Amino acid sequence: MRPVHGVRGARRPLGQVWDTLLGNAPSSRVENVIWSVRLPRTALGLATGAALGLSGALMQALTRNPLADPGILGVSAGAAFAVVLSVGVLGIGSVYGYIWFAFAGALGASVLVHLLGGLGRSGYTPVKLALAGVAVTSLLFSLTSAVALTDPDALNRYRFWSAGSLASQNDEVLLRVLPFLVAGAVLALACAPGLNSLALGDDVAKSLGLRLGLVRVQGVLAVTLLTGGAVAVIGPVVFVGLVVPHIARVLAQYAGIGPDHRWLLPLSAVLAPGLLLAADIAGRLIARPVEIQAGILVAFVGGPFFIAMVRRRRLAEQ
């Protein structure tokens, strides 16, 4: 929404924001925009961005696959399909109602991708997992579109929601989904010591006394809560969980921390909201007064990054 113009002696938008936060709003309209639109939207971006970044770092550590991401490995698509299915078939219209379907869809898609990624003589490989994720994601998005086209209400929700956006949400929605995101974050951070052992290999981790099954179940549950909660609110935003953990590793290397997940996971959770909010702000400025959804702009950044990672991986294997 554009700042208020035409007020004589009015301060610049940044000054108006500070005045409003300090209780000296220049007008009721500015106060309403900031408290009812901008702050809830920013808070939503902080919470869901942290969830996506944390889930991406966790997935990369669990699978030891630098290409892992909730969007690429079908987790986001599974949650999206379940949400549209609950809206179009069951008529569920509230976030607190269809968020359970988002969790179930995220978990089901994750299991399916890992099963497909382990087929064949060569067994499980990172590239096969990524290809299985792309295939399952394409299938689920096709099924999602088919369900949406059969129900006008589901179609209206899906058209805007599928692109991934922080718009049209309020603080009530955030408060409803926040407990699930917090629970997922706690589970993810609790996995950090086990992930450090897992990075050394399964045999070494077992010799160190790590219960691999428990760590993996805890990690999958954390990814389900984080991704399902975020997708239910802002839609299937992809590539946030792919790009941010790699940035976190570079920063950790320069800081002398190394590949310690006790630092990498929190750092990913801190950096990811910056990417999502930057895309959201850019989307409001690039084509004013039309708004470009944040998920579209994130895809413009993440798509080339994913291609570069795949090429680098193939060159390393040759």
- Looking at residue 6, what is its pLDDT? 42
Tell me whether residue 140 is exposed, middle or buried, using C-beta atoms within 10 angstroms of its C-beta: 0 to 12, 13 to 18, 19 or more. buried
Looking at residue 36, the DSSP 8-state letter turns out to be I
Is 27 inside any structural domain? no
Local confidence band at 1 (pLDDT 50, 70, 90 cut-offs) = very low
Measure the CA–CA gap between 15 and 34, rounded to whole angstroms. Answer: 12
| Whether the predicted pLDDT of 272 surpasses 70 | yes
Range with the lowest mean pLDDT among 85-94, 172-181, 234-243?
A: 85-94
* Side-chain-facing half-sphere of 308: CA atoms under 13 Å: 8
**Residue 30's pLDDT is what?**
64
| Residue-number span of the structural domain to which 273 is assigned | 45-61+69-317
**pLDDT above 50 for 5:** no
Q: Where does the pLDDT of residue 15 fall: very low under 50, low under 70, confident under 90, or very high at 90 and above?
A: low
The CATH code of the domain that includes 75 is 1.10.3470.10
In this structure, is residue 23 part of a structural domain?
Answer: no
2 within domain boundaries: no
Instruction: Say how many Å lie between the first and final Cα of the chain, rounded.
Output: 51
Query: Is there a domain that residue 180 lies in?
Result: yes
Structure confidence at residue 24 as a pLDDT band (50, 70, 90): low
* Residue 149 predicted with pLDDT over 60: yes
Number of domains in the chain: 1
Q: Considering the domain boundaries, does residue 3 fall inside one?
A: no
Domain membership of residue 30 (yes or no) is no
Please indicate, yes or no, if residue 252 is contained in any of the structural domains.
Answer: yes
- Residue at 5 is within a domain: no
Please report, for the chain, how many H helices and E strands are present, in that order: 14, 0
